[in-house]
Amino acid sequence: MTSAFQRAVKSVIQEVDHGIEDLIPVDCLQNSISFKPYSLLSRKLSSSCFWKPSYTFLNMSIKDILEPISPEPEPECIGHFQVSDVIDGNIQGSVVMSGRGEGRIAGAAAVSDSSSASMSVCILSVNLQTWSLIQRERHLQQPENTILQQLRSRGDDVFVITKVLQTKKELQITQAHSQESQGEGKGHQSQNKMVTIPAGSVLAFQVYKLLIGSSWGILLLPDEKERTFESSSDHRRGVDLGHHCFNLLAALQLTGEQHKFMSVSPDEIPEEEEFRKDFQGLCAEVKAGSLELGNLEIEVREQLLEDIGRILQDQPRLDALEASLRQGLCSGEQVELLDSPAGCILEYLVLCSAEPALELAGSIFFLLGALNVLSETQQQLLAKALEKTVLSKQLELVEHILEQSTPWQEQRSVSLPSRLLGDSWDEEAPIWVLLEECGLRLQVEPPLVHWEPTSQGPTCALYASLVLLSSIGHDLD
């Protein structure tokens, strides 16, 4: 089953956001106590235009980078809402199979899902007049905050939370699922979840990008070309990274003409070589990386697949490897040495000068970016799939869903052919969990995936991960 917390957040946002889509859902209950008005977040540049980068909580607020250090004005409440979400669904099906001389098999199944939540929420916002007042009266600390210095050197953007959707009272969410089968395979299975969300928990938030130079300000309208930190012309090549949009295929094609792998931006790509931001464009971009990885020697690919499986179960090492490659590819600096298994992967990707081998390192960097979009549950399942060599089956199904759900901006139902499902298509199947973690709604009988536009990023990242991991693992069975 999908996360009860995530389902509740999605439901309340649909009711109060009114199609504006400026509220960003909190991804898990643990983070709901961290995101408050004035809190600062960072966001690293995405390794693909097909999924959005995630925000990282910095454990600091706007007051920690400004002088004088004093409390911020209280945000104002701009709305109270009472939202009830009750779902009660029941699906029944039956099947009769017979064959010559083999008798007759009959069976029936019933599946029911139910969930309920009653939420009292409010929206707290910091208005523009308050921001203007803070900006006039308070200046950046000198010397610059240490964390800001680190973010500046890495080229990450910084955001401040300006609005939150917050619970007013403690609430409980209940979610139940039961499945019953009749016939020779008679059985019953039920699963129940109950989540308690404390009062004052943040379900969603809105951010403005900070602009930091000799003075500071906030960017009221989204603009991916505007960066938080002013950059000199010498440093810009290291942090621009294609205006938040890295196209692997374009970068691989242009590396012979560019000094630095990551300095390719959309403005530098000839018009006839721009790539479509749909399924065909995704396939072209991912294929560029899979060709690089698939050409490695078998012994190298075997070890590489083993090491990737290990870092998939160690998030800090996965983050460290991506950061090290980003440093080498963006700025041309020497790659930071890491402990195994991340260090072993780096050994295959860097030259004797400790600079990364551009094409191969770029493909691994793209893979790491895709893997980091996935949830911890998905990462664990992929690590197990590497051992069971079932990636190609999962890839075929995800590819079918992405292709049939085009255009991705519209809701639709995608039928799943039986040839892609194998012997298992239920809540316990790994591919079911992989897809459900992308935010997709799945149905057992008939086999369907209900496509949600918000699922595009995670599903594209899952597809890219499966393609690139499959290219490393091909012919290793």
Strand 216-219 vs strand 104-125: parallel, antiparallel, or unpaired?
A: unpaired
462 pLDDT tier (thresholds 50, 70, 90): very high
Q: How many CB atoms lie within 10 A of CB 94?
A: 12
In this prediction, residues 185-194 reach a mean pLDDT of 61
Cα of 154 vs its chain's centroid, Å: 20
Residue 373 sits at the vertex; the CA angle it makes with 241 and 313, to the nearest 5 degrees, is: 120
- Residue 106 pLDDT: 39
What tens digit of pLDDT does each residue of 251-294 get?
A: 555 444 443 444 344 444 444 444 567 888 888 888 877 877 88
Contact 107, 95 (CB under 8 A): yes
Q: CA 8, CA 116: separation in Å to the nearest integer?
A: 9
> At 27, is the secondary structure helix, strand, or coil?
coil
Indicate the helix (H) or strand (E) that contains 66.
Answer: strand 66-67
Are 149 and 140 contacting, i.e. CB atoms less than 8 angstroms apart?
A: no
Query: What's the pLDDT at 466?
Result: 95
Question: What's the mean pLDDT in 97-121?
Answer: 50
Structure tokens, 25: 């859902």
DSSP symbols for 218-277: EESS--TT--SB---HHHHHHH-HHHH---HHHHHHHTTT-SSGGG--GGGS-GGG---S
DSSP at 356: B
pLDDT of residue 355: 55
Q: Which residue has the higher pLDDT, 184 or 176?
A: 176
End-to-end CA separation in angstroms for the chain: 32
> What does the pLDDT read at residue 140?
93
On whether the CB atoms of residues 261 and 363 are closer than 8 A, the answer is no
pLDDT tens string 316-352 = 888 888 888 877 776 666 667 777 788 888 877 775 5
